[in-house]
Amino acid sequence: MPQKKSDGLELKEIIKEITSYLPKFDSEKFKKAFGFAKSAHKGQKRKDDSPYIVHPVATASVLADLHADEDTLIAALLHDVPEDTKKTIEDIEKTFGKQVSFLVDGITKLSKVYYRHDMAERQVESLKKLLIHSAKDPRVILIKLADRLHNMRTLKHVRPDKQMRIAKETKEIYVPMANLFGLKELSNELQDLCFYHLYPEEYRKVVQKIDKSNLKLKSLLGKTLELIKKELKKEKITADLTGRTRSLHTIFKKLKASSKDVSKLEDVILIRIITNKPANCYRTLGIAHTLFKPKTGMFKDYIAMPKSNGYQSLHTTVFGFNGVSTEIQIRTQRMHEEAEYGILSRYFAMRKGKTMKLDKDSRAKWVDKILEIQKVEHDSIEFIEDLKQDIFEDRIFVFTPKGDSIDLPRGATCIDLAYAIHSDIGHCANGAEVNGTVVPLTTTLKTGDIVKIKTGSEKSPHLYWLDFAKTNVAKQRIREFLSKESGAKKIHRGRNILNKELESAGIGFVEDLNFKKVQQVMRNEHDKFFETKNDLLVAVGEGSVKPITIANIFLKEKTPAKKLAKSVRVGIQVLCEDRVGLLRDLTNVAARFSLNLCGVKAFYSRYMRLHFVRLQFDVDSYDKLSQLLKHMERVEGVHGIVRVFPWRHF
């Protein structure tokens, strides 16, 4: 099982480590916090039968490794006291001050709230409130990350079903958090621990494969380091060099993607070179490329263009000794501190007398996005899903024609870019160019794209944009605009779009709805109340209620859990223009949703001068079908799509 160090150091060893980077650290206050926590947790045991105090001490130890500040370290010792003991937040504030009590409060108080739903939703709600609380001070999340790391190190002591749930939550929420904070080593350890619990058999196989090739890799690593050191010395470049093999989870992902043996994997060896100034980073890169042939397309300059979490470094992959692919990372000491300690590196600057605030750090910008999401989504489950989609997913970088770089989540469209530039650009957008080619606003972007947003004089965002917008900034701005339109316009739009959704689902039309049923479910499950049917149509028309939510209310009665069946044959009819590549574009949309195309018919209407294309798919959920129809409607040349039912002679 992966583990970098013992679960907890002796208190005096932790204090020694802290004072090495915090000379003015108040060790007596820290000891006092330890005594306070130990007394409060007296008699309590962990699942492995160890005294409970082991956990907060281990949490503080993790934060000491990250060079955390004094208040954070003390709060780590006390973080479970209010939840698990008779001591209160008021007791902590009285003894250790407001800053410490605020941090502790952010970790513990929220889990005491009672929820009427199951445990999973209770935990989701706690996480939601924790994240909102952390917007005031991201150190709350840092303590939670350290707390989670120790819990993951000792996860083997809890029952198997809980292991799986906690590991999955860690992988989806806490690993991305660590990455956002720039804490790469902590993220790697969490990833390996998740890998161990979620895929135990695969983990065992990777460990075995690495053990077999480790001696060879270590020998090659040593030779590579010696050669680079020798050349740097010749060029009088001061640098520290270290080397290692990739994390187990990274190797597993590479094995899975390539179907290769570990000995033939690319970039298993990683070399890090830390030099004294940016100019020497580029000189060192030149030396590395002189010694070893670089691999085409494997160079990344994160110094000129830092990652969204502030990370800076040069990355290149070369053919090393015996042709083994080796990644070389080159950075300065300051960049290394940023990479190692992430957002906490701000405290280094503070200790050196500079006035730098945590909330000014680019890595803390995501907390503002949390507040944006909270304005849009009040449902806890949807809040977490939006959080994962808008903040925790991989990022891409696209460019405006002027060369400005804009950071967006992977899967973002031209709509998201328009609103990222400015709300008015988004509202007035009517088209786009990507790399010089005219494309729809719904086009998905990728890193390196140069995008020009075309605008008109009128503000006219469309309701369907909500189905293609990835970021919550874009979604919120669109909804805000639509909500300001007249009630009559919203009712008209809401009726049309809801009729379309209900027809696709095979339910009927708005007039056929059992409104009392909708009222009841929306109030009980979504905390929304509509007095009249028109109120519901207004909500649909302004985008605050999704039409598919209404359709699913009735589909659930017929087929539980939104399932049409294990797999159902579904037919659709597309009214479209005659153009080269249209059928290919339609089937490409189906491929994106992993749908099996099992039937195609087409005929031409001379009267309408348009083609009718009928397609059949195997579909396992209505949600997927609904998304398919929305995306197909945006294909160039498509005039409309309707679902064809068996009794309509598909």
Rounded Cα–Cα distance for residues 424 and 375 (Å): 20
* 232 contacts 175 by C-beta, under 8 angstroms: no
* 38 contacts 85 by C-beta, under 8 angstroms: no
CA distances from 427 to 237, 390, 431, 474, 602 (A): 53, 20, 11, 10, 37
Residue type, 366: W
Out of 10, 13, 26, 84, the active site residue is 84
Rounded Cα–Cα distance for residues 339 and 420 (Å): 27
Cβ-in-10-Å burial (0-12, 13-18, 19+) of 146 comes to: buried
Angle at 269 between CA 209 and CA 2, to 5 degrees: 55
| Residue 83 bears catalytic tag | yes
Strands (E), 198-301: 239-245, 269-275, 293-294, 300-301
Sequence-distant contacts of 586-590: CB under 8 A, at least 24 apart: 586/613, 586/615, 586/632, 586/635, 586/638, 589/628, 589/631, 589/632, 589/635, 590/615, 590/617, 590/628
Out of 10, 13, 26, 83, the active site residue is 83
Rounded Cα–Cα distance for residues 600 and 577 (Å): 16
Strands (E), 314-460: 314-319, 325-332, 395-399, 405-409, 429-434, 437-439, 451-455
Structure tokens, 264: 């033939």
Cβ-in-10-Å burial (0-12, 13-18, 19+) of 544 comes to: middle
Rounded Cα–Cα distance for residues 63 and 8 (Å): 12
Sign of CA dihedral 82, 87, 344, 53: negative
| Residue 485 bears catalytic tag | no
Q: Which residues are catalytic?
A: 83-84
